[in-house]
Amino acid sequence: MKLVVIAGPPSAGKTAVVRQILRNLGTGEKAAYLKIDVVRAFEDEELATEFSIPTRKVYSGDLCPDHAGIMVMADALRWAEKEEASILIVESAGLCLRCSPYVTQALGIVVLSAVSGTHAPLKMGPMIGLADVAVVTRIDLVSQAEKEVFREGIREVAPEIEIVETNAVQGTGMRYLLRRIAEADEVRDAATVELRGVPPLGVCTVCVGKKEIGWQHHFGVVRRLGDAGNLFRGD
């Protein structure tokens, strides 16, 4: 079974990309779909109705959605296996851009909107840097020069990443993404799947319920991805 992890900021067109993948999968393929979100999600119900595939969703609630994804990934693989799926598509909530939800033995896809501004790629380092493919949506809304400048922004973050430009509603350019999925490896051993990047090491006092403002009320260790230095403030 193949594992495809789809990430990207809210409203970038992740579900539209999932729809195109499902619509164009080969006849021998059977997909399963898992949506990870914080409080509400409808994609699982919509896609189950539309494509008659097994779907699930997980609400992370107080936990960050990428963390929730890590917790449930092994269970999700077992579930998809039981459903006899040949491909499991996991769509993240795409909220926090400090870490990335991609795991090993999977194909990591980041979805970005061409209309999100030149600096958008620079603002989501790990989400792009650790992905295999960047899918740029709403490409029909920008002119050629803008496309190229947006591409340049992505390449600044990830020089080697494969870029697929698409109007995800129409599905133009999707053949390149489908080809990449067709060529992707299978999950070899679900027990050894792990995160690709080192997540930020954070102990957040807000998450444990402290409401006071100011350094003196809070403590924590914050380390950014790919950054060896620690920042420690408060007690």
Partner 1 sequence: MDLQVTEITVLPGRDKNGETEHFDRIVIRPGETLAIVGPTGSGKSAFINDIEVFARDDTVTGRTVLVNGAIPPDDYVRDPAKKPIALITQNTKCLADLKVAAFLEMHVRSRKIEGDEIISETIALANEFTGEKITPGARMTSLSGGQTRSLMVADAILVGSTPVIILDEVENAGIFKDRVIEVLRRYQKAVVFVTHDPLVALMCDRRVVMRNGTVVRVIEHTDSEDEALSAVKKMDGILCRLRERIRAGEAITGGVQAV
Binding residues for partner 1, rule: CB under 8 A, are: 114-119, 140-152, 155, 163, 167, 170-176
The residue type of 30 is: K
Query: Smaller CB distance to partner 1: residue 62 or 152?
Result: 152
Query: Smaller CB distance to partner 1: residue 19 or 35?
Result: 19
**Minimal distance, residue 115 CB to partner 1, in Å:** 5
**Residue 90 bridge partners (DSSP):** 5, 34
Query: Smaller CB distance to partner 1: residue 9 or 65?
Result: 9
> Do 100 and 196 meet the contact criterion of CB atoms below 8 Å apart?
yes
Q: CA-CA distance, 66 to 43, in Å (whole number)?
A: 17
Query: Smaller CB distance to partner 1: residue 15 or 116?
Result: 116
**Minimal distance, residue 162 CB to partner 1, in Å:** 9
> Do 225 and 197 meet the contact criterion of CB atoms below 8 Å apart?
yes
Q: Which two tokens stand for residue 71?
A: 């917790």
**Minimal distance, residue 7 CB to partner 1, in Å:** 22
Determine the 3-state secondary structure of 44 from DSSP: helix
**Minimal distance, residue 49 CB to partner 1, in Å:** 22
Query: Smaller CB distance to partner 1: residue 179 or 233?
Result: 179
The residue type of 126 is: P
**Minimal distance, residue 160 CB to partner 1, in Å:** 14
**Minimal distance, residue 159 CB to partner 1, in Å:** 12
**Minimal distance, residue 48 CB to partner 1, in Å:** 25
Q: CA-CA distance, 209 to 167, in Å (whole number)?
A: 43
Q: DSSP secondary-structure letter at 39?
A: S
Query: Smaller CB distance to partner 1: residue 26 or 117?
Result: 117
Print burial letters for 12-44: b (CB count within 10 Å at least 16), e (below 16): bbbbbbbbbbbeebeeeeebbbbbbbeeebebb
Query: Smaller CB distance to partner 1: residue 23 or 217?
Result: 23
